Amino acid sequence: MGSQAVKAIESLTERKEFLYHLLNDVKALEMMLDQDIFEKGIQRIGAEQELCLVDNNFRPSCNALKILEKLNDHHFTTELALFNLEINMDPLELKGNCFSKIDNELTELIKKGDKIAHSIDETKIILAGILPTLRKRDMVFKNITPFKRYKVLNKILKDIRGDDFMLKIKGVDELILNHKSILFEACNTSFQVHLQIPISEIVDKYNWAQAIAGPVLSITANSPLLLGRELWSETRIALFQQSVDLRNRSYLLREQKPRVSFGSDWINKSIIELYQDDIVRYTPLLTTELKEDAVAKLKQGEIPKLEAIGVHNGTIYRWNRLCYGQNNGIPNMRIENRYIPAGPSVKDEVANAVFWVGLMQGMPLKYKNLNELAPFNDVKGNFVNAARTGVDTFFNWFGKGISAKRLILTELLPMAYAGLKRTGIDEKDIEFYLDIIEKRAESRRTGALWATISNRALKKKMTKDIANATLTAHMYKNQREGKPVHEWEIAKDNDLLNLDMGLTKLEKFMTTEIFVVNENDLVELVAKIMEWRNIHHIPVVDNKNRLRGLITKTNILEIQGQDTNVIVAKDIMIKEVVTVDSETSIEQATKLMIEHKIGCLPILELGDLVGIITKNDLNKLLSI
């Protein structure tokens, strides 16, 4: 999320000053490119690992700050939400066994973090592109990490948009909802890979990074579920874009692209084009204390930090992001791959990084000058299609149609192998990690496919929320064992979920997909809905969607033989309905049903109907 030392641009003076520094930084960067003063003869790789925190029931745990304090390790830092953490890996020179080093160091850091987390309310650390057990109620302002940057960014984006953010994602299921903060961005957890690029290759390599993004995403997809809905293979792509989409206010007419973007065109001549495009398209949101005159500093023989570029770049989320940095005072440029999801295991993540870096290093000469070889929308379309359908994607690969599996196995894996070999990566590392990609492609067993198949199997035996928790428990177990996802068995049981069901709150297991009828609907319609959906209880609401009563199958049977074309719901409904709130325990709910001899309990929050739980649901829960 960038530096914490920022503030909102609140005045014309602040805006003018920031834009002066931003334009000056771009000018200085252009001068540095002309003078060719960037680091040569070395490449480094780095990574950022975003993590989810879960409690003993595998629901989000907001213990990030307590865990960080006890960890006292500079590799760990905060993220936007209190149920996330981030590990910043030390950069390594791209050579030898650098990838197995990343694997070993990351594994040990996660083990260390998980041990400390477990000592605080039995919290666990888990890798997940999107945590299956997240609920809308977790996405509230109080769960934002209480640091200035996060709160400032949330306020700015809300003020600019002018109303609630909206999500609308359609896959196998459909998700449509409004949300009041940017916290849905925190649903996305990724494994971000940084690759330093020689400045002489930066234009061609950035374009190539865009071209391979679709195929790489297709084999790395690991985020098919959000709020219990089965959506895209890599739902993060749609979710991240929509969670911070500002395009809703007329005074921002020039901002026609979302701040989360794949891009709109190839680079033609210089990487300066990217920074110019960001300034043209995106209004500055944040500023910081800027004392450096980048051009003046460069003329004095010093290397500028380009802080204004860094602040502005930190509010624009390209899936392939160009980053400026320094090493011992020597400038360098790197490409940050932001679309690879966290998980399914550390081995899978490192294999994903090896595959991507290998392709970057192995770019064939025939793919130079991509701006002259293919329309940009071809690769952009490939990326979006890969996010939707993952390993089942059919790509437009430079004018020919080809499946993801065939493209990866016949063209891209050999290309990656050659690139890694040429770079001086150890043969053992190359074969081990690319073999994971090969096995994954051959079996089509990506994290997304494993989660989707497992979730469908689990939902046949248990409620949606228990299925989500059980799925997450299996993910945690498999990650701890260190196996890549193509070796994972489909999750079919809930032996890993150790819940004290009597004390568990209804909010975790209530049915939220509720079928209701209006109080003025014909009883004939009510009867059909109950028959078609095989339900025994149906809440009755008024025109303002407030609960007014309840109709049971018994109520329907009692009017058999009467003219149901003149009877409406309010004529036969039970008006004195026993209700509970979502904080009610399963034990309390069971006692209420027995005491009142009823078969269901509508669940209300602040007067709104948010769920329902039936006697059958409780029997399933208590038998776990």
Q: What is the pLDDT of residue 22?
A: 95
Q: What is the pLDDT of residue 555?
A: 93
**Fold for domain 37-195+222-262+319-345?**
Creatine Kinase; Chain A, domain 2 (3.30.590)
Confidence of residue 246 (pLDDT cuts 50, 70, 90): low
Q: Is the pLDDT of residue 254 over 50?
A: no
Report the alpha-carbon distance of residue 572 to residue 567 in Å, rounded: 8
Q: Is the pLDDT of residue 129 over 90?
A: yes
From residue 395, give the alpha-carbon distance in Å to each of 388, 404, 543. Answer: 12, 7, 48
pLDDT digits (tens, 9 = 90+) for 203-220: 999 999 999 999 999 999
Report the alpha-carbon distance of residue 288 to residue 311 in Å, rounded: 8
Q: What is the pLDDT of residue 509?
A: 67
pLDDT digits (tens, 9 = 90+) for 419-442: 999 999 999 999 999 999 999 999
Confidence of residue 139 (pLDDT cuts 50, 70, 90): confident
pLDDT digits (tens, 9 = 90+) for 546-589: 999 999 999 999 988 887 778 999 999 999 999 998 888 888 99
How confident is the model over 240-255, as a mean pLDDT? 58
pLDDT digits (tens, 9 = 90+) for 286-336: 888 898 999 999 999 999 999 999 999 888 889 999 999 999 889 999 999
Residue 456's region, left for phi above 0, alpha for psi from -120 to 50, else beta, is alpha
From residue 425, give the alpha-carbon distance in Å to each of 248, 302, 422, 439, 469. Answer: 48, 34, 8, 21, 40
Please, which residues have CB within 8 angstroms of residue 73's CB and are 6 or more apart in sequence?
109, 112, 113
Which residues on neighbouring strands pair with residue 332, listed in sequence order?
A: 325
The closest alpha carbon to 238, from 129, 133, 161, 352, belongs to: 129
Angle among Cα 26, 31, 35 to the nearest 5 degrees reads 150
Window from 13-22, 231-240, 488-497 with minimum mean pLDDT: 488-497
Confidence of residue 252 (pLDDT cuts 50, 70, 90): very low
Share of the chain above pLDDT 90, in %: 69
How much is the mean pLDDT over the chain? 90
Query: What are the structural domain ranges in the chain?
Result: 37-195+222-262+319-345, 448-487, 506-622
pLDDT digits (tens, 9 = 90+) for 86-112: 999 999 999 999 999 999 999 999 999
Q: What is the pLDDT of residue 251?
A: 39
Question: In CATH, which of 1.10.150.240, 2.40.50.100, 3.40.190.10, 3.10.580.10 is domain 506-622?
Answer: 3.10.580.10
